[in-house]
Chains A and B, each alone.
Chain A
Amino acid sequence: MINKQLPSLAEAVSDVKDGSVIMISGFGEAGSPIELIHALIDQGAKDLTIVSNNTGSGHVGIASLIEHRRVRKMICSFPRTTNSIVFPELYSKGQIELELVPQGTLAERIRAGGAGIPAFYTPTSVGTPLEEGKETRVFDGQTFVMEHGIKADFSLVKCEAADRYGNLVYNKTARNFGPIMCTAAETAIVQARRMVELGELDPEAVVTPGIFVQRIVEINQPLDESKLVSEDWRYPWN
């Protein structure tokens, strides 16, 4: 019987190795798999490359992972937001690497990675500092810059509901990077708010087909990141 559901977060992230490339879903807190990130902190893997749109806020989730010095490099489009303290401080001291990528290029690089496309051309960033050092090519008189697809060893993704085959649906704008990150990882690890029986998800409305998902953990009541940040919680819990 195929059953991708695992009983614990710890088991789901147990084989992450030092130096892994890990994609983490979310746009700000919406869609951020905070319980999986905390399990990764407990697991201890370091020297990680993290691909995520932001760098987390306060001292929980991605910010806590960075604060525990597990992250060598961030691949990211917007590394500072209202409550991001940890990344800007390490970055200003030169203690963490940053590869800054336009948001749409980041999404397309992940999509390409998942679709077996090694590189593609885009007009985004042409004539700007983010084009520097990249190959360019002219098509029909317009200049394009070459960007590489990104693949990951693991993706950590949050969704609304999953069945044991790994079919997923998401909630509103928390969908953001989840579906493409599932496709681009060797092992996509998902935390689902609800596990449902096979057949409960309308096949016409499945967003991520189960083939892209390897592991699922059910987390019924995920933490509310902005609440944790406003109350100044730190992970591991202070």
Chain B
Amino acid sequence: MELDPNKAGWSKEEMANHVAMDIPEGAYVNLGIGMPELVAGFVPQGREVIYHTENGLLGMGPVPEEGQEDPELINAGKKYVTAIQGACYFHHADSFTMIRGRHIDVCVLGAYEVSGAGDLANWSTGKPGAVPAVGGAMDLVAGVRNIFVITKHVTKQGNPKIVENCQLPLTGKGVVKRIYTNLATLEVTPEGLVVKDMAPGIEFDQLQEHTGAKLKMP
């Protein structure tokens, strides 16, 4: 049966849930902007996880209730947030000491492309004339031990996002540990990409067909 790799498999919420299940109790976690933000909603009850936002808050809470927004309490995406009991604020050099000094346990990011060797491209579409903007992406991939990517398996046009070699400007080389997509969960290993889990109804051959890098079953 023909597979539409854009529609098949898990929903965004199910993908976020898979990531959340792999974040251990007590972890300090940085969530990127967009789909990674969904992960916070799926941490199991009773598991305590502390969210870092690189603009200067450890202990980031959910979005505020209407009317409670504070323009001086925002996240890295410049959206209004709250601070939990036990939160703390700090300046940027301290915030990036947490990142670059390898104190953050997990970072969940989106991707334009990921290679079989764990190279990540997620900051520039490489279009000439576009204004380049990098923010904290390169610091996060260079400094956080566990870089998890959450992404659709293919682009809107149906091309693989998981590729042999990234064509877009890199954010970091060999930095990604795990890739969570709508079709599968993949582990980046020295031997290449290993399939940890596949969405119901997906065959290995179909998964390989929509993946630019070679896959292995464990």
Interface residues in chain A, defined as those with a beta carbon under 8 Å from any beta carbon in chain B: 27-31, 77-82, 87-88, 91-92, 98, 100-108, 110-111, 122-130, 170-180, 207, 224-226
Contacts and interface: CB of A to CB of B under 8 A. Distances in A.
Contacts of A28: 74, 78
Contacts of A124: 100, 138-139, 142-143
Contacts of B137: 102
A16 to B, nearest CB: 24
B56 interface: yes
Contact of B142 (A30, A107, A122): A122
B204 interface: no
A103 B93 contact: no
Contact of B138 (A82, A125, A207): A125
Contacts of A80: 131, 133
A128 B169 contact: yes
Most interface-central of B55, B92, B142, B173 (chain A CB within 10 A): B92
Contact of A77 (B53, B70, B73, B136): B136
Given A27-B74, A30-B72, A124-B100, A103 B90 contact: no
A174 B55 CA distance: 9
A127 B170 contact: yes
Given A128-B169, A172-B72, A107 B95 contact: yes
Contacts of A87: 131
Contacts of A92: 129, 131
Contacts of B108: none
A107 B93 contact: yes
Nearest to A170: B89
B72 A104 contact: no
A173 B91 contact: no
A123 B135 contact: no
> Interface SS of chain B: helix, strand, loop or mixed?
loop
Interface in B30-65: 53-57
Given A77-B136, A173-B73, A104 B173 contact: no
A106 B131 CA distance: 18
Contacts of A98: 131-132
A116 to B, nearest CB: 14
A177 B92 contact: yes
Interface string B150-169: 00000000000000000001
A130 B78 contact: no
Given A107-B95, A128-B171, A175-B89, A122 B72 contact: no
Given A124-B100, A124-B143, A107 B92 contact: yes
Nearest to B76: A27
A111 B74 CA distance: 23
B71 interface: yes
B74 A78 contact: no
Contacts of A79: 131-133
A176 B55 contact: yes
A102 B139 contact: yes
23 contacts: A30-B72, A92-B131, A98-B132, A102-B138, A103-B54, A103-B136, A104-B136, A107-B92, A110-B92, A122-B142, A123-B142, A124-B100, A124-B138, A124-B143, A128-B138, A128-B171, A128-B172, A129-B124, A172-B70, A173-B56, A173-B72, A180-B91, A225-B71
B217 interface: no
B28 interface: no
B83 interface: yes
